[in-house]
Amino acid sequence: MTDVPSLRAALLDWYDAHARSLPWRAPPGATTKTAPYRVWLSEVMLQQTTVPHAAPYFERFTTRWPTVADLAAVEDAELMAAWAGLGYYARARNLLACARAVTAEYGGVFPQTETELLALPGVGAYTAAAVAAIAFDQPANVVDGNVERVMSRLFALETPLPAARPELRRLAALFVYDDRPGDWAQALMDLGSGVCRPRSPLCDQCPLAFGCEGLKTGTPERYPLKTKKAERPHRRGHAYVLTDGSGRVALVRRPDKGLLGGMAGLPTSDWSAAPEFTPPVDAGWSAAGSVEHVFTHFSLTLEVHVAEGGGDDFLWTPAEEAAKALPTVFRKALERGLAAA
DNA sequence: GAGACGTGGGG
DNA sequence: TCCCCAAGTCT
């Protein structure tokens, strides 16, 4: 059977020697844990997001807003602009809601139980467990994509994702002890990210190789098995770059729900197989070419149109500021339009 | 359970 | 070029 204590000891020893140094991380064995605010903020930023992409955002956020109370006081539009480019914008809306909840309901002090954390906006099973383990050193079962991959290989689990999730959680829980729970969680994620990698695992460097069933099969990279996902459809749309002749561009605020919800955007048509050309104002519109963008569940070709004009229904924003506040798809379209104008 | 929800990097 | 993916959450 699986020698859980030996595997645990091997990975913690490995972590003591190989832990990555990250802006939000306390060194292995540190008695002073990272402040819960920083753990929470980093965990939200890291959801489906790589460390190199999230790190500069983390530095900017913590410099600008050193405490959760500082963050709670920020205007919605300012927060959304600061998040622009990071993606999954519901995270930003929930981040603000969570900061305000912690400030209003807990006096600016993060709750320490997994149950209370889980009730906060944008905090799901993974993040609640991660904050409990990393910030408060509680024996929480922290299961993310890395942990799922490590467990599926360690046990050569033949059940494909996502059906395997409950079983993978159960396996991960076998290793959760009262001893160094925060380090354990981070060790597992570092291993998954640096050694037990998705495509080409470095099994000759793996501290768990001695007990890995996946390695014994000869093809550990086959795990975790996954069920095929649906093909990505393609849509088209028009984007309108309206300028006022003095360097400002017309933006709109998108509805809170749905794609790019709560973000600033360019005026656009519907996005569909055959979008209608319905510019926001009558003006001398001219074509400026197109830009391509790929979202998680569809790809998009945006025909960019430019004109000079006015109107009261817009957020007239200096082009440079607009580029920074816009999600990437609109930043591309704006650049295209400005280059053609 | 399945689909919505971004982006940039790597093989 | 294309496809996969990265520390998920919500509905």
Confidence of residue A340 (pLDDT cuts 50, 70, 90): confident
Q: Return the residue matching tokens 């070709």.
A: A301
Residues A192-201: contacts with CB within 8 Å, 24+ apart?
Answer: A192/A144, A192/A145, A192/A146, A192/A147, A192/A149, A192/A150, A193/A51, A193/A146, A194/A18, A194/A20, A196/A146, A196/A149, A196/A150, A196/A153, A198/A149, A201/A153
Query: Measured between alpha carbons, how far is A107 from A103 in angstroms, rounded to an integer?
Result: 5
pLDDT at A229: 81
Q: What is the CA radius of gyration of chain A?
A: 23
Task: Classify residue A125 by burial, with Cβ atoms within 10 Å: 0-12, 13-18, 19+.
Answer: middle
A328 shares a domain with A261 = yes
Final residue in a domain of this structure, among A136, A158, A180: A136
pLDDT at A231: 87
Q: Shortest CA distance to A146 belongs to which of A212, A196, A112? A: A196
Q: How far apart are the first and last CA of chain A?
A: 69
Is there a domain that residue A265 lies in?
Answer: yes
Statement: the CB of A220 is under 7 Å from strand C: no
> Which tokens belong to A235?
């849509």
pLDDT at A228: 82
Torsion A124-A127-A130-A131 (CA) sign: negative
Final residue in a domain of this structure, among A102, A136, A170: A136
Statement: the CB of A90 is under 7 Å from strand C: yes
* Cis peptide bond upstream of A28, omega within 30: no
Average pLDDT over residues A236-264: 97
> Which tokens belong to A25?
């991380």
Provide the domain limits for residue A1.
1-17+141-229
Is there a domain that residue A199 lies in?
Answer: yes
Share of chain A above pLDDT 70, in %: 100
- Give the helix ranges, DSSP H, for A88-143: 90-106, 114-118, 125-136
Final residue in a domain of this structure, among A229, A259, A283: A229
Position A44 pLDDT exceeds 90:
yes
Q: Which residues of A are catalytic?
A: 43
Per DSSP, which regions of chain A are E strands?
234-243, 248-253, 264-265, 286-294, 299-308, 315-318
Statement: the CB of A114 is under 7 Å from strand C: no
Query: Measured between alpha carbons, how far is A271 from A237 in angstroms, rounded to an integer?
Result: 5
Average pLDDT over residues A292-304: 96
Taking only the tens place, the pLDDT of each residue in A184-200 is: 999 999 999 999 999 99
pLDDT at A2: 83
Position A1 pLDDT exceeds 80:
no
What is the 8-class DSSP label of residue A268? B
Query: Measured between alpha carbons, how far is A245 from A259 in angstroms, rounded to an integer?
Result: 30
Supply the mean pLDDT for chain A: 96
Confidence of residue A96 (pLDDT cuts 50, 70, 90): very high
Query: Measured between alpha carbons, how far is A271 from A300 in angstroms, rounded to an integer?
Result: 8
Is there a domain that residue A264 lies in?
Answer: yes
Q: Which nucleotides of C are covered by protein (CB under 7 A)?
A: 4-10
Confidence of residue A108 (pLDDT cuts 50, 70, 90): very high
Is there a domain that residue A325 lies in?
Answer: yes
Confidence of residue A230 (pLDDT cuts 50, 70, 90): confident
**Number of domains observed in the structure of chain A:** 3
A51 shares a domain with A2 = no
Query: Measured between alpha carbons, how far is A18 from A13 in angstroms, rounded to an integer?
Result: 9
Query: Measured between alpha carbons, how far is A56 from A280 in angstroms, rounded to an integer?
Result: 36
> Which tokens belong to A311?
């109107």
A207 shares a domain with A172 = yes
Confidence of residue A41 (pLDDT cuts 50, 70, 90): very high
Q: Which residue is nearest to nucleotide B10 (CA to C1')?
A: A199
Which position has the higher pLDDT, A169 or A229?
A169
Q: Shortest CA distance to A284 belongs to which of A303, A263, A308, A261? A: A308
pLDDT at A155: 97
Query: Measured between alpha carbons, how far is A179 from A125 in angstroms, rounded to an integer?
Result: 21
Helix (H, G, I), strand (E, B) or coil at A339: helix
- The DSSP-derived string for A24-60 is T-PPTT-SSPPPHHHHHHHHHHTTT--HHHHHHHHHH
Is there a domain that residue A207 lies in?
Answer: yes
A324 shares a domain with A258 = yes
Across A30-34, A64-68, A236-240, least confident range: A30-34
What is the 8-class DSSP label of residue A220? G
Average pLDDT over residues A21-47: 95
CATH number of the domain to which A183 belongs: 1.10.1670.10
Position A327 pLDDT exceeds 90:
yes
Is there a domain that residue A29 lies in?
Answer: no
Using a 7 Å CB cut-off, which residues contact strand B?
A 48-50, 52-53, 85-90, 162-163, 165, 199-200, 229-230, 258-261, 293-297, 327-329
Which position has the higher pLDDT, A30 or A268?
A268
A265 shares a domain with A199 = no
